[in-house]
Amino acid sequence: MKNIIYFLIILSLVSCSSRKEIVLQKIENFRSEKKDWNNLTKRILNDKTVNSKLGLLIEPEELDDSLANELLKKEIVSITVGNNKDCQRVEYQKGWENFIGTQYLIWTTCDSLKTKKGYYEDLSPIEVFGIGEKWLTWIDTDPI
């Protein structure tokens, strides 16, 4: 029984380490596409349909074809938007991915601490990674 517990602890540590490495690689990939993400975010914040559904979960299919296709191409399953002059926020949700969980990308003017490049917080089962320039990503490893 003791050996099984040790095995599970080691497996858990290896899994967390690998997940974090995968997420950090995804952040690097995101950085190379940041200009596209910034342009997409501007379009979303200016979209009439989006602004009629602030605070609600919006699926790509609810938007015009151009936005919907771009979101689907980026593997986004839904967005949630807050859009007032003091605090703007666009949260992009990706689907569940093995070894990672569900990834959320957030552009926000509301949180300068968590969006700082290199920020990291482990809130089990959630991990938050600051990307920089108003961007962060958080990972939810709970499949429920």
Model confidence at 26: pLDDT above 50: yes
Give this prediction's pTM: 0.86
| pLDDT the model gives residue 8 | 38
Crossing angle between the packed helical segments 65-73 and 34-46, to the nearest 10 degrees: 150
Of 38, 37, 65, which is closest to residue 49 (Cα–Cα)? 65
Q: In the β-sheet with 120-122, what is the strand arrangement from edge to edge?
A: 76-84, 87-97, 101-108, 135-140, 126-132, 120-122
Model confidence at 108: pLDDT above 50: yes
- Domain residue ranges of the chain, discontinuous segments joined by +: 2-140
CA–CA gap between residue 18 and residue 49 (Å, rounded): 39
Task: Sort strands 135-140 and 101-108 into parallel, antiparallel or unpaired.
Answer: antiparallel
Tell me the C-alpha to C-alpha distance, in Å, between residue 50 and each of 62, 64, 78, 108, 117.
9, 10, 12, 16, 28
Q: pLDDT digit string (tens) for 57-79?
A: 999 999 999 999 999 999 999 99
Report the amino acid identity of residue 79: I
Q: pLDDT digit string (tens) for 79-97?
A: 999 999 999 999 999 999 8
